[in-house]
Structures are given as C-alpha cells and as structure tokens.
Chains A and B, each alone.
Chain A
C-alpha cells in the first residue's frame, strides 16, 4: 500500500507542475496585456510601464515563471491588481462559503441519492422507479440557474418563506448561523446532484444485484435488509466513489451558479469574473489550486478503491 501511495503522489506532483506550466504559458499567449486590461485603453505608456515594473511583468517570461513557482512554494498564489488583495486571502475568505454550500449539498445529495438509487434498483421498472426516474431526469435536465430562479420566485418572492440571498456573513460560523438563508442555494445544488448520483447508484446497484454472491446470500436465507446493506451497498459504492472523488474540485468551482444567483461570493464566481476581466493572477492561482485539488481528489478516490477493492492495490 505504501509503494502504491508513493507512486501516486509522485505522479500527482508532476501533474501539478505541468498544470502550472501550461496555465502560465496560456496566460502569456492571450492577446493584449495585463496592464492594458487593468488600466484601460486610456492609460499612458508611462502608466503602463510603471505598472509592469511594479509587478515584475517587465521580466523575461521564464524568470516570471520561476518567481511564480518560488512564491507558490511559499504558499503565495499571487496578487489580484483588480481586487487589491492576495489570491490566498480571496480563497481563504471564500472557501468556507463554497465548502458550506457545495459541501452540504454534496452530502445531502449522497444521503438522498444512495438509498434512492438502491430502492430504484430493487424496484426497477415499477411505478416507483419510473416516478423517481422522471423526477431525477427533469431535475438533471433543468439548468440550475432556472431552478434557482424558480425557487426564489416561489419560496422567496412568493411566500417569503426563505431569503432570496444566501447568508451574508464573512465567516463560516456566520454562514451556519443563518440556516434559513442557506436553504435555497443548498436546495438548488442538492437537487441537481441527487439526480446525478442516484442515476449512477441505480445502475451500479442493478449490476450488483445480478452478481452471483448476491444470489448466494439470498439463497442462504440472508434477509433482504442485510443483503442490501452488506453486499449491494458496498459494491455499488465504487462507481459513486469515482464521482465523489471527481466532485472534490467541484467544491471550489461548481457553486458558480448558486453564487451568482444567491449572492454568495465564492471561488467559482471569482474565477469566472477573473476570466472575464483578464485578472490573470487570480486565474492562475485558482487554476493551480483547482489542479491540486483535482489531483488530490483522484488520489483519494484511488485510495478509496484500494480500500474497497483489495485487487486494486495489488494490480
């Protein structure tokens, strides 16, 4: 297991370095200059030169990259000239928002989707399965933006049951301190994810239910409840584990729509805005961060496979 972990970690470091290099190069081949994007087209040449000098943008690209790597090694993701703060502080400030919104939604979605998928598998092609399939398809095909607007129109503007915006606190504790405001954004993200996870879970459970060991367990007289919890659930979770692993970076980025509609500043929206405004340091910093989290998510998924299925670690 140790050798397996070491191999995967070395691979992960190489991938992250590759991500930084590719992102850095892309940043330099985008037409237009950072100074112009920030200062506007009326800035004088002297103003542009002063900006480039002050921010090390007059150095050769290789030197800029090495400076960037040096900073990265110290945990410095860069500085946003537009937002007048470091990318680190942006992420540190916004990550709790995302973790609470997207993390809660992911957890809730799993809590609902895993049993739902198994129930659908057990009752496949019956009325309950068809009803659940219809609902999940409808939710999955509905743009989350539209779903969010519908929820606001119905539950906020219509009956004033919940606020139209998410919690406006600056801290995680403050966010959690206003649970009513969390309802609509979390509900939006949960409903979309339930649809996704339950489909995977249903398919995996149907396949597992057809396995010999499940039939043997039943033939031996094991109650259905135990067959499902001990054999079907664990073996069906492998495919969902892949999804959850890949969803880890989504904690950083998939909240974009909820952040946009429900007025919750988060990393996803910051990244989008940085792309629109050519705020390259923020784009670069968050890309690297998402790259690291993606690699980490995959690494964790691989480890989880190894735990769930011992054949993986001996392969």
Chain B
C-alpha cells in the first residue's frame, strides 16, 4: 500500500545533495549568477490576465505532513515536507538554487549577493541585500554568524553534516559590517564547489531566537555575549529551539517561529497536517506573493490524492469553491489516465530533478564482494540493464537514463558530451562475452560458475573461487510498480547469462537500516545488492561532485567502494581553482562513468498536475517550491 514515490516532494528519499552551476569568474574571483536554463519541467506558461488573490492548494506526498519547523534539522525530520514545503517558505536560505528548473544559483532570489573569493580561495566575503525579518529587524551578517555558531556546536544533530565539510572548514567568521560577512576557510577550495555545496547550507537565523527560554525577552541584534557565542550556550539555544519545534500544534502562534524572512507566514498547521500560509507583508525579496493563501493538503495515499484530482474542479482562484488541487501529482500507476486529466483541463508538467539513479553492489560482502570488485563483471552486469526499455515499459516514459554521475538530464552546465553516451549499452551478448572471456562457464537459464579462478587477464579475478556461482540477492522497496517491474526484468535478463538474482521486497525503512557501510567480517555486511527506489538528488549541496558518495569512507558511500584514483579526482573537484573546475569535474565524471562504482539505472520523473488557470508554476530543479511565483489568470487555457 505504499504509494508511488514522487520525486518532487520527497527529501527523505533524497540521499544526496541539491546542485547547479554556470558561474562567471571575474579577475577578483567573483562568482556571478548565470547559466543556461536547465529545464527539468516546462511549467505553466505565464499567459492570461493575472488576478490577485485566490487560494492555491498543493498536494503533499502521502502521509508526509510537515512536522518540524526549525531549519537546523536532524536526520529524523530531514524530509521534503519539512525542508522544502515548510522551512524554506518561512526562513529563506542565504542562497536560492534551482529556480524554474535551472540548476544554477539564483542571485536575484537570494539574500546574499554573489560571494567574492580571495586569498586563493581561502576567504569568502558575502554582502547581504537589504532583507528584513517580520519583527522589523534587518537580516544581517550577525544572523549568518548565529547559524554558523549553532551548527558548529550541534553538528551531530544536523542532518546535512559531513565530517570535514561545513562548518568544519570554516575557521572563523567575522561581520565586516551589518550587511557583510567574511568567512575564513581552512584551505583553498574550488569556488564553484564552495558556493554550491557549502554556502548552500547556510540559513540566516533571527537573533530573536538566540535565547534559552520563552521567558527571556528577545535579545537585541547588537547585544554582546549572546548565548550562541559560547559552545555551551549554543547547545542550550539548540535544545530550546528543538524543544519549541516539538510543539507542532503551536507553530503558528509561537513567538519564535512567527519571526520569518521568507515570502510566507504560517497561519495554521492542523493536527491532520493541513498547512496554511499567508503572505509575509515584510518580505523583502523581488517576488511578492500574489495569492491570498497557499494551502498544503495532506493525503493518506496517492490513490486518495488522485481520486480528489479526478473528482475536483481543475480550475481555481478567487471565488472558486469545492474540492480542488492547484498543484498535485499523478501516481505512477495512474499515468495512463493522462488523457482524462487533460480533458478535465489540468496542465500536465513533466518533472525530473537534478540527480542520478543507481543500484548498490556491496563491495565488502564476503561472498559476492570479490565478484563485484572485478571491473569486467561490473561492465557485464551494466550491459544487462535496459535503461531505455525500463523507461518505456515501467516508468511510463517519465525518466532519464543514467550514464554518468554528472548526468545529462535535466540539462545543466556541468555535464560533458560523454554524459549522453551509454558506455555499456544493453546487450546480453556483450555481457555473455565479457563473462566467458574471464573464465566463467556460462549456463543460460542455469547457474554460471567460475571455471578458471585466478588473477590473470582471462581468469575470474582475485578472491573469486572455482565453481562459485553468480547468485545474488537484490533488496528493493515494495509498493513501487516501476521498481518492481524493472527489477523483475533485470532478474529475467540476467538469467540468460546464468546470473541468478533473488528479489527481496522490503520496506524503505528496512533498506535504510540494512544497506550500510560495513567491514567484510561484520554481520551487517550480509546484504549484496540494493535498490533504493529513489534517485540521488543533488541536494542540499548542489555541485555534482562525488565526495559524499564515491569517496572512500564517505557517509553516502554505503557500498564500500574504494579507488584511490577516483578519490584523487574527487578531491580535485573540490580544491582546484575556478579556472580548472570544469576540467576537474569532467575528469571525475568520465572516470566514474566507466569504473561503475555502482550500476546505473534510470532516474524516475514525476508528472505534476497544475490547475487550468494557475500560472507561474515551474518545478524547481531540487524540489523546492515557490508559491510566491504562482497566480491565477482570468482567462483559461
């Protein structure tokens, strides 16, 4: 009964980072906004006479109501519902990424002006635009420092923390003035990487929150020795704010959470998860809300959401009444009903977030790990994955093939020409040939076994025993028809070369608790192949470098892959000067796409429904939402 995964609203499913590029570098190494638009979805065209007001209804993913408001969020609450659909509407991050499908940073929508890098990439200076909090205070350099102090003192409670990354790489911060902050870094970093992967982690917080109880009056932004300036004090402030974030029912009336910088204020959050937002009249950004209200509707299932879509009116706006979903989604098993939705009047928008998808082979599994460590085997296995066929047959045409860790789709300025070329196209004969030429006795529809053990070129490879069969167990989440279909296909195709894949459908929670980094001797290393059912999305760090997934020992490198040559290439992507950034990224991507640290599979897309007269909607490349850009139009069509 688990509903289909819809990429737009799931962040728990987002195992990775959020991304973008396309920067111009001046002589003084200034990062400036630009980049080619990277359409991941066309959106609703801005035609028709705009009408002020009206209520837009947004369908939440099933059983995923927002329930944690504090932006310094732990892994337990690191979900799309909380980060993308609640926190960023209220508390604007320092920089905004992914606007209208463009993978780049949008300096126009950001609080910070383009960061200026100096001292060989060891110093970053950020000038803030004039933004104000809803309590009248200015969004200042001190607010950025407040965030850094809190994160530094509470790293183990922060879902986005990566050892060695932000804030470990910030030696110090300094307010050069009320609206300028300077960060000193512990090394020289690639300015693109730092802007997209590290500065993306900053959300200025109001000094009104810098206290340890509600009984204390909100401190003045200019006060000295506030609690956050001491580690113990910052921990106490975190405990207080986390405690306040546990009182979900009182979010809307809280004196803490009602101080916002974003375009919206929370008017109510009901027990069943209906979140109602109203425009923040103090919002300083360039796009003020035109809607009277923005309402997020909870659903118990994708089926329930789809029933409402079908039964409700496809148009909305001022004066409309009755059931309606202004922005919703089509469950994957209901994709054939697209004509009926179009006939109702809905606009249908295809959406593919910036990321890639893969299967995880466990390199440390004591039984099959030695097989996975053989490049020829990984190549043969990749030849068995029919990405185009899966997209057509199981993804309802909504998906993009993955050939590279810097993917070609959606369009982005990072991917080179190789990203569009499949180095190991679907070919059973090629897979058979590779295995046979490396000492395997192929038994179609049976069990192929290693006939020539050893380490020579035409032998099975180190660690593979004589007579060892090619038998694997694949874990994948239940309830996702496209995953189920593609895994069944893989099982069937693999059988043709004598590879036996036992399919093991489990819950997503079981996958998260099982597919773990492990030592070969550990009982936890019993898993062999895993499929999450959701793609790696470049969020909340948006540069498509691989330090969080393919680098030896990285937290996201749960399949225990380790290659010193790849490690070097990854480090280069984070450390080279801006002038060499793209070359370093190309070198990394070209190596990883051929080395297959995991098996590439298609990234699933989502079909979004938009009310017939709603305009301004365009999916964000990383799944954020900007209802302040939406409006109803007078004339339909």
Task: Name A's B-contacting residues (CB within 8 A).
Answer: 31-33, 36-44, 46-47, 49-51, 81-85, 89, 93, 149, 152, 156-157, 160, 163-165, 168, 170, 259-265, 269, 272-273, 275-278
Contact = CB atoms under 8 A, between A and B. Distances in A.
Contacts of B245: 84
Nearest to B66: A84
A269 B299 CA distance: 12
B321 to A, nearest CB: 12
B75 A32 contact: no
A163 B297 CA distance: 15
5 contacts: A38-B75, A41-B513, A41-B516, A168-B297, A261-B301
B310 A42 contact: no
Contacts of B297: 168
A108 to B, nearest CB: 22
B510 interface: yes
A152 B307 contact: yes
B50 to A, nearest CB: 29
B274 A168 contact: yes
Interface string B286-316: 0000000000011111011101101110000
A85 B76 CA distance: 12
Contacts of B15: 40, 42
Interface in B244-283: 245-246, 248, 270-274
Nearest to A34: B513
A40 B74 CA distance: 11
Given A41-B517, A82-B76, A85-B246, 12 more contacts: A36-B513, A40-B12, A40-B78, A42-B558, A43-B555, A157-B311, A259-B300, A263-B298, A263-B305, A272-B1, A277-B508, A278-B510
Contacts of A165: 304, 307-308, 323
B274 A276 contact: no
Given A157-B310, A163-B323, A276 B508 contact: yes
A84 B161 contact: no
B163 to A, nearest CB: 7
A260 B508 contact: no
Given A44-B156, A259-B300, A261-B301, A32 B513 contact: yes
A84 B246 contact: yes
B67 A164 contact: no
B298 A265 contact: yes
Contacts of A42: 15, 75, 555-556, 558
B308 A164 contact: yes
B514 A277 contact: no
Contacts of B558: 41-42
Contact of B67 (A40, A83, A149): A83
Contact of A170 (B63, B77, B271, B508): B271
Contact of B75 (A31, A43, A149, A277): A43
Contacts of B299: 263
A31 B511 CA distance: 11
Given A43-B555, A260-B1, A85 B156 contact: no
Q: What 7 A-B pairs come out closest when comparing CB atoms? A: A32-B513, A39-B75, A164-B311, A278-B509, A263-B304, A164-B307, A36-B513
A81 B157 CA distance: 13
Nearest to B77: A84
B161 A31 contact: no
A268 to B, nearest CB: 10
Interface string B482-516: 00000000000000000000000001111111111
A211 B507 CA distance: 54
A47 B507 contact: no
Contacts of A84: 67-68, 76-77, 245-246, 248
B246 A261 contact: no
Interface string B503-546: 00001111111111100000000000000000000000000000
Contact of B157 (A41, A50, A89, A163): A50
B21 to A, nearest CB: 23
Contacts of A44: 156, 161, 163, 555
A36 B516 contact: yes
Contacts of A272: 1
B2 interface: yes
Nearest to A269: B300
Nearest to A84: B67
A50 B239 CA distance: 13
Contacts of B74: 39, 47, 51
Nearest to B511: A41
Contacts of A168: 272, 274, 297
Contacts of A277: 507-509
Given A41-B515, A42-B558, A278 B507 contact: yes
Contacts of B517: 41
Interface of B: 1-2, 12, 15, 63, 67-68, 74-78, 155-157, 159, 161, 163, 245-246, 248, 270-274, 297-301, 303-305, 307-308, 310-312, 323, 507-517, 555-556, 558
A48 B481 CA distance: 32
A51 B311 contact: no
Contacts of B161: 44, 47
A82 B509 CA distance: 11
Contacts of A149: 303, 307
Nearest to A38: B76
B311 A276 contact: no
B76 A50 contact: no
Nearest to A272: B1
A84 B243 CA distance: 11
A46 B74 CA distance: 12
A263 B67 contact: no
B248 A263 contact: no
B323 A164 contact: yes
B615 to A, nearest CB: 26
Contact of B248 (A46, A85, A152): A85
Nearest to A97: B272
A189 to B, nearest CB: 15
Given A43-B555, A44-B156, A276 B507 contact: yes
Given A39-B76, A83-B67, A170-B272, A261 B12 contact: no
A181 B461 CA distance: 65
A51 to B, nearest CB: 7
B513 A31 contact: yes
Contacts of A260: 1, 300-301, 303-304
Most buried by B among A37, A81, A273: A37
A41 B156 contact: no
A261 B507 CA distance: 20
Q: Which of B159, B246, B299, B512 has the most CB of A within 10 A?
A: B512
A263 B297 CA distance: 10
B513 A51 contact: no
B516 A46 contact: no
A35 B303 CA distance: 30
A264 B509 CA distance: 24
A160 B311 CA distance: 7
Contacts of A261: 301, 303-304, 307
A38, A259, A276: most-surrounded residue (chain B CB, <10 A): A276
A36 to B, nearest CB: 4
Contacts of A31: 510, 513-514
A165 B301 CA distance: 11
A37 B512 contact: yes
B75 A47 contact: yes
Nearest to B297: A168
Contacts of A278: 507, 509-510, 513
Nearest to A43: B75
Contact of A265 (B12, B155, B272): B272
B269 to A, nearest CB: 10
Nearest to B2: A276
Contacts of A36: 512-513, 516
A41 B74 CA distance: 14
Nearest to B3: A260
A293 B304 CA distance: 29
Contact of A263 (B77, B163, B300, B514): B300
